[in-house]
Amino acid sequence: MCGRFVSASSPEDLADYFDAAIDQAALGANFNVAPTHEVPIVRAVDHNRNISVVRWGLVPFWAKDLKIGSKMINARAETVAEKPAFRSAFGKRRCLIPADGFYEWAKVEGQKNKQPYYIYRSDGDPLVFAGLWERWKPKAEENKADVDASEVIETFTVLTTSANTDMEPVHNRMPVMVAPSAWDSWLDPATAKSDLVELTVPAPPGLLELRPVSTAVNRVANNAEHLLDAFELPRQG
């Protein structure tokens, strides 16, 4: 799964990397992105790539409450085309989520607490997650989210797949990574389902590096670059 990630690249750097226009001013660097946070994503607008800021945690158009998004931060690639919450977006509203890296927690034998790891590309380029996005507008008579009934809220989810050999020591799932050569196919609403399925596979071995980091990342309130600093694991035995 993917429950926390880093979105620290500047809007200008992202625009250059994706050859994209910036739809709205991006937020500042976020070193501990958590569900319900807003981050830049890349979508296709009139056959061009466009960067805009969207809330993490997909809310289906038919949902009665915005809070459901907290349970929809990830979508399993194996079932995304059939699940009612995701199948419409999978067919028509796909996006790319830039990330400098992401966090995952590994079980430690003999210990109750898990060890967090920061996972990033070995070549220093941004990671690009496969995502889906939706538009949601609350019905006035059912609005339990304390939001303006006229407001349209855009949300997204990150697709996950089985872990590759880089990730297996830490977790059995990982975000789906989209290679630059496949960006346009993923964003194009006309891409055939069979072609999309071929893109939702584990990343090639050797793409990622993992390093242990401090448990300070466990608290969402902690949000600074030092969260990425390497943490020396205690010796076993």
> Catalytic residues, which ones?
2, 104
Q: Please report which helix (H) or strand (E) contains residue 195, including its range.
A: helix 193-199
Helices in 114-221 by DSSP H: which ranges? 183-187, 193-199
CB 8 within 8 A of CB 29: yes
Question: What is the spatial distance between Cα 11 and Cα 51, in angstroms, rounded to a whole number?
Answer: 8
Question: What is the spatial distance between Cα 124 and Cα 38, in angstroms, rounded to a whole number?
Answer: 23
Contacts of 95 (CB under 8 A, 6+ apart): 41, 42, 43, 54, 131, 132, 133, 156, 187
Closest CA to 132 of 192, 180, 69: 69
Closest CA to 5 of 167, 131, 118: 118
Closest CA to 213 of 229, 226, 224: 229
CB 5 within 8 A of CB 99: yes
Tokens at 45, concatenated: 């607008």
